[in-house]
């Protein structure tokens, strides 16, 4: 019985740990800026939970305004795992 309770406690602790947010907003912005080859003038960031297990991701939009209103001369969206800090994707892909 004790082994079963310890086993359940271990499984529960592992699933809770995967949904934690260890990377704060400013760290996510710094990691996103390191992924692009321009200096952004505007930054937007939001936290979303995605996937079946609701993993937290920081979605960071970095942009430079274009010459016409509502346009961008540079735009990138970087998705970062909020738990591990791993960069999951960069759009558009950098060469």
* C-alpha to C-alpha distance for 46 and 79, rounded to whole angstroms: 10
List of the chain residues with pLDDT < 70: 8-19, 93-95
pLDDT, position 95 = 47
User: Which sequence spans correspond to the domains of the chain?
Assistant: 21-91
pTM of the model: 0.76
Tell which CATH classification among 3.10.450.40, 3.30.70.2740, 3.40.109.10, 3.30.465.10 matches the domain 21-91. 3.10.450.40
Answer yes or no: are the C-beta atoms of 58 and 25 closer than 8 Å: yes
């Amino acid at each position: 019985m004790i082994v079963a309770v310890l086993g359940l406690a271990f499984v529960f602790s592992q699933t809770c740990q995967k949904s934690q947010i260890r990377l704060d907003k400013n760290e996510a912005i710094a990691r996103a800026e390191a992924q692009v080859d321009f200096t952004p003038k505007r930054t937007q960031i939001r936290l979303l939970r995605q996937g079946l297990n609701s993993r937290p991701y920081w979605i960071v939009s970095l942009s430079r305004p274009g010459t016409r209103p509502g346009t961008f001369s540079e735009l990138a969206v970087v998705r970062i795992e909020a738990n591990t800090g791993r960069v999951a994707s960069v759009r558009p892909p950098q060469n």
